[in-house]
Amino acid sequence: MTEREVKYTNCGICLAACGMEVVIEDNRVIEIHGDQDHPLSKGYLCPKGKAMAQYQSDALRVTSPREKVNGRWQEISWEEAYEKIGKRLKPIIEKHGPRSVAMYYGAGTPLSSLNVSSATGFIRALKSNRIYNVLTLEFTNRYYVLEKIFGRQYRVSQPDIQHTDCLLIFGHNPLVSLDHPGITEEIKGLSKRGAKMIVVDPRLTETARIADKHISIIPGKDLFLLEGMIHHIMAEKLYDAEFLKKHTTGSEFFRQNSFRTPKEAAELCGVPAKTIIEVAEVFARAESAAAIGKLGVHVSPNSTITYWLLEALNALTGNIDKEGGLLFNPGIFNMDTLIWIVTHGKRPRSFFGNHPYLTGSFPASELPREILMDGSDRVRALFVDVGNPAIVFPNSTRTKKALQHLDLLVCVD
């Protein structure tokens, strides 16, 4: 007789952690629905969460260790896998030292709450600090800027869309990416409340279609639009002087107003000066406002300075840590503390570029060069935890060449 049961859990793919109702038959996941009784997600699941039932049954799922022998995969037991990896790893460490071993963990890591600590703990136990993670591929600018502005890399804020009077979106299409439960209703509710939504995007996205204003910008030039807006806000004294005095240092830099004027900015970003001034006025004069930038900003040229100006715009208008502005959610645990623990509070610098550890990682994009380089500090063994560097790293030709150059490559997926 078929045994059927329903279990409740949460999705681990992203920080929204939506509640899930999982239907299991004979130890197989049959269906996954949003948990209607979950206090936050209230039954919501995005397409990624809904597709999770396939994770267990997908034909491509690897369920036992495999070793490549003479170019062909052979199934081996777990005992054999541990023994063989150990036998090949030991002489590498003895001959070239622990730093010849590296760990990369990818975007699948959050699916297990233990992955980050076990992956980094493993490499630390070997006495190597060569850790690389996916966040340094797509969000380097974000964590760098957050640390510079708020003093902590993971001090990520969220726009209070439910209460804001003006939502200014750069390079983001929330109606399609559905990045947190209820976002569709929140976005659609803006106009019902009389709040404004302005979307800056080279494309007329699904979100831009329902916005009050769509600003079509030359791709990658958001920086100049922000400069023009900030220039106008400072010149017209539309900034929140009290907030700046109470909560910030360094606002003198902005008061000097060495930013490009709206007219100068217009020539570089392709947005008319009149529009730049209009958006600056609407944003700064709103009772509450939130400016947000997502992947379109994070992966564009000048991403660091663009994101910095975006957060500066929020601060200059007094919209940080305020209802209707940007709010900080402490989350269920402090990521900065976790990273501090697993890195022993150290911020070593990368071999190439001398970049400090960010999110507890060297820049992942430099890993292929550190494998291919000459010299005693070369990476010779790599552990990949739920990631796919051959596809996601920049310059995949060089990355594949580097992976083939390793003495040992172990992938956990």
> Which chain residues interact with ligand SF4 by CB under 6 A?
11, 13-14, 16-18, 45-46, 48-49
CB of 236 to ligand SF4, least distance (A): 40
CB of 301 to ligand SF4, least distance (A): 28
CB of 117 to ligand SF4, least distance (A): 20
CB of 11 to ligand SF4, least distance (A): 3
Q: Tell me if 131 sits within 8 A of 123, measured CB to CB.
A: yes
Residue number with CB closer to ligand SF4 (13 or 235) = 13
β-strand pairing of 131-133 with 157-159: unpaired
Query: Cα–Cα distance between 294 and 139 in angstroms, integer?
Result: 9
CB atoms near residue 253 (< 10 Å)? 10
Query: Cα–Cα distance between 333 and 329 in angstroms, integer?
Result: 10
Tokens 């109702």 sit at which residue?
21
CB of 17 to ligand SF4, least distance (A): 5
Residues in the chain: 413
Residue number with CB closer to ligand SF4 (174 or 262) = 174
CB of 331 to ligand SF4, least distance (A): 13
Q: Tell me if 279 sits within 8 A of 266, measured CB to CB.
A: no
CB of 38 to ligand SF4, least distance (A): 10
Residue number with CB closer to ligand SF4 (13 or 81) = 13
Residue number with CB closer to ligand SF4 (165 or 186) = 186
Query: Cα–Cα distance between 266 and 336 in angstroms, integer?
Result: 39
Residue number with CB closer to ligand SF4 (49 or 363) = 49
Query: Cα–Cα distance between 28 and 26 in angstroms, integer?
Result: 5
Q: Tell me if 289 sits within 8 A of 317, measured CB to CB.
A: yes
